[in-house]
Amino acid sequence: MSADIFVTGGSGFVGAATVRYLSNAGYWVRALSRSEASDRAIRAAGGEPVRGDLESVSGTHLAGCEAVVHAAAHVRAWGRWRDFRRVNVAGTARLLAVAREAGVRRFIHIGTEAALFHGQPMCDIAEDDLPLALRSPYPYARTKAEAERLVRAADDPVRGFRTIVLRPRMIWGPGDRTLLPALAQMVETGRFAWVDHGRAATSTTHIDNLTRAIALALEHGEGGSVFFITDGETVTLRDFLSRLAASIGLTLPDRSVPGGWLRTIAFVVEPTWRFLAPEREPPITRMVAAMLACPCTLRIDRARSELGYRPVVSVEEGLARLRQSAIRSARVPNPEGAGAG
């Protein structure tokens, strides 16, 4: 297939990797861009930027595109409810309507397991085990749940407008703008602590596994379906984050706080903070405290059987690649090169 694909969020972590993967695979990729910096990021990934945002996207932007990959979102642990709603819910609703009118045939939505999250453990769950968290106290989780509901409801076999939701968990790898930078910043500012010694089990999703799943979903999978996408391995937060940090030469401190205590603190701090200093992110939010304290492991049997998905990068291999690229950019010393001339 070498159809035109329209990507949103093409300047972000997931979107840029998607633009790169799809253009390398022979697709023509056009991507929504809000700025010159985003234009550059999209061009560097092999796509063609078109100016606009989710609030103004129109049929002209999508003209001639067979499929949409919707990766743009307000991806934050903190912010005003109205900003989450404007981008994640109203933006998704507008894009769906415009795509349908423009004759798009397939709409791939980058969802998240957080769309199910209201503060509970999620152990070894399949896609339909839990309802969408439409009353989640966390703005990101609730608005991603609402967005997912809209996407699933928009699936229309009669008109040939098919929608698919992919739910990755904890995306990592080259280009990550969230996980590793946040870890590095917490360590540098002395704010890092484990929660319950990092014992919570988690699934993770290497960016190359996600882009592979996106490419598969463009061709396979029943419209209206939802798929968890992960690395297919279970790790503990402690093991994974320690090794992730080590890949760029960071050592995570040993300090740990009890999850129950942290969640109580966040429960008290967040509303007070929202009242007194809503523009500044508090040191801990209720959502982050809950996510760090709760196990979250996801089954990918459905993606395996219906999309033909297989992780293409293991956790071990992804970490080794990060380390190699940190060595190449001289962020960490090369143990094998010590003393070499």
Ligand X SMILES: NC(=O)c1ccc[n+]([C@@H]2O[C@H](COP(=O)([O-])OP(=O)(O)OC[C@H]3O[C@@H](n4cnc5c(N)ncnc54)[C@H](OP(=O)(O)O)[C@@H]3O)[C@@H](O)[C@H]2O)c1
Tell me if 62 contacts ligand X by CB under 6 A.
no
| Backbone angles phi and psi of 206, in degrees to 5 | -70, 140
Nearest 10 degrees: Cα torsion 330, 331, 333, 335: -100
Tell me if 91 contacts ligand X by CB under 6 A.
yes
Shortest spacing between CB 275 and ligand X, in angstroms = 26
* Cα–Cα dist 95/150, whole Å: 11
Among 5, 7, 14, 300, binds ligand X (CB under 6 A): 14
Tell me if 284 contacts ligand X by CB under 6 A.
no
* Cα–Cα dist 160/279, whole Å: 43
Stretch that binds ligand X, among 12-20, 233-241, 283-291, 331-339 (CB under 6 A): 12-20
Nearest to 154 by CA among 144, 142, 162: 162
The separation between CA 184 and the C-alpha centre of its own chain, rounded to angstroms, equals 19
Q: Is 140 assigned a catalytic role?
A: yes
| Binding to ligand X, residues 127-186 (CB under 6 A) | 144, 168, 170-171, 177-178
* Cα–Cα dist 41/16, whole Å: 7
* Cα–Cα dist 37/34, whole Å: 8
Shortest spacing between CB 213 and ligand X, in angstroms = 12
* Tokens found for residue 274: 């929202």
Among 6, 21, 38, 198, binds ligand X (CB under 6 A): 38
Among 6, 12, 108, 287, binds ligand X (CB under 6 A): 12
Among 89, 108, 110, 262, binds ligand X (CB under 6 A): 110
Give the residue with the Cβ less far from ligand X, 61 or 323: 61
Tell me if 288 contacts ligand X by CB under 6 A.
no
Give the residue with the Cβ less far from ligand X, 18 or 119: 18
- How far apart, in Å, are the Cα atoms of 200 and each of 235, 252, 285? 9, 16, 18
* Cα–Cα dist 30/153, whole Å: 25
* Tokens found for residue 89: 């819910």
Q: How many residues bind ligand X (CB under 6 A)?
A: 29
Instruction: Using CB under 6 A, list all residues that contact ligand X.
Output: 8-9, 11-15, 32, 34-35, 38, 53-55, 71-75, 87, 91, 110, 112, 144, 168, 170-171, 177-178
Give catalytic residue positions.
140
